[in-house]
Structure 1
Amino acid sequence: MTDDLPRIGRTRLPDTVASLLEDKILQGDWHPGRRLPSEPDLGLQLGVSRSVVRDAMKTLATRGLVEVRQGVGTVVAQPSSDAYTDAILVLLRRSKLTVGQVLEAREVIETGLAGFAASRRTGDDCGRMRNCFEDYRRAVDATDWALAQRKHTEFHLSILTAVQAPALEILLLPMQSIVLAAPLPPILDDKALWEVPLHEKILSAIERADAEAAREAVIEHFAFRHSPLYADALAQLSRYESGDNNTRAEGGLQPKLYDGR
């Protein structure tokens, strides 16, 4: 099998090989699911040692571009935001940002998103958001806080989808999955602290295509940031942990705590 790869000198670093193979993937020459040549074959084609190829593959795996499948070998991975998400997580964990500061950023983002969603949403978007909200409401009514956490995330991310900006969705989806994480309500079983009516107020404004009302509803929702009830929790440093593959598939991340908002 020939892949029209140029030979490179032995003195070149593994990141040169990684860059070359990355270009093949990003340009679409190697499609998701395609099995890559073996390390010896790639080394022979490129004129480098097997160890150089192995290091390059590790780099590509870290970037989420390839994965090793049992009994198959190394294949081109499906597009994923995992590497992007992990980079944001590392930055947050190394920062001195508090939970309150992360929530402030989320308020700024979601206030704008709600206004655009109200102006651009389709009938299908409204149906999707309504279903997500009803799932969230039922989970809170059932005091199933783990389910409420997931359904809350789905509701807020459905607003991002309703903005009808695919590029923005790619950029913000991993970030939103992270900033949706924050401390649990001070009184977990107090359903009022989960603010179901305020979520419905946001949804209703978007359904009516009232951009200003949608933005105001989001600001009202985030007024809890100024409540003494949350002062201690919001003063904590933000700490997030990435989950395993199953966790990512269900909603992205494993925060230390979650506020259910």
Structure 2
Amino acid sequence: MAWFESPYFCPASTELNFAHFTDAHLFAQPQEQYFGVRTAQHLQQTLAAMAAEAFDFVVFGGDLTQDHSPESYQLFAELVANSALQCPVFWVPGNHDELSQLNAMTEGQIRPEKRIEHACGQVLLINSKGDTPAGWVAEHHLAELGDAIDTAASQQVFITHHHPLPIHGYLDKHILENGDALLQCIETRSRSATVLHGHTHHDYYHDYQGVEVFGTPATSVQFVKNAASWQQENLGPGYRRMRLVANKAPITEVKWLAN
């Protein structure tokens, strides 16, 4: 089945509200730590905060696992199921993740669709997982994306794990290596486009020829901005809110949660 073939249709309403949360870096055991942070606890905190908001759905932005264990994926599914969050949960793969494991945990509230349709806009979830920690969007996937863009006339949001533009920091060694091709595909075909990504472990904004590109902070630990070496800091978990209203510019902001 093609990546965008089966859409998920949101109930009709005057606006669309969703959240983007990313980079959980879970382990098999919930008490284990990633750079001094109990990532399962941070994810629980994030799920609880999102549950308190009236989101139509949420999208997990990749890097679910840190230890690459099947149990870490099971833990994610259990934390979602045991939370107060009631809306659908979608996902894109990160460089740490395996598609087979993500698909295995996908049932019920955790949804498989990669194309989300609403009267106010369309959300397309992109696979940027490559053969290395850096990202790559395959040529056939770009073609599928172009076809999916062409079918929609309203504003569109694109979510990928890897950052398509340099952030002038350590993680540029693991950038989306054909990010320019992705952004050109979006810019030339879409009339109103916003790109959200994870991977960088901090918030970020850049305008690419009218395409707004936003990085979302991690639920786990943040990486110091503009640092040539890999430096971490525990600022608490964060996620991004996104609001679409017909014929208006999208509204987005980061929600930070206390340590």
Q: TM-score, normalised by structure 2?
A: 0.22
Higher helix residue share = 1
Q: Based on CA coordinates, which of the two structures has the bigger radius of gyration? A: 1
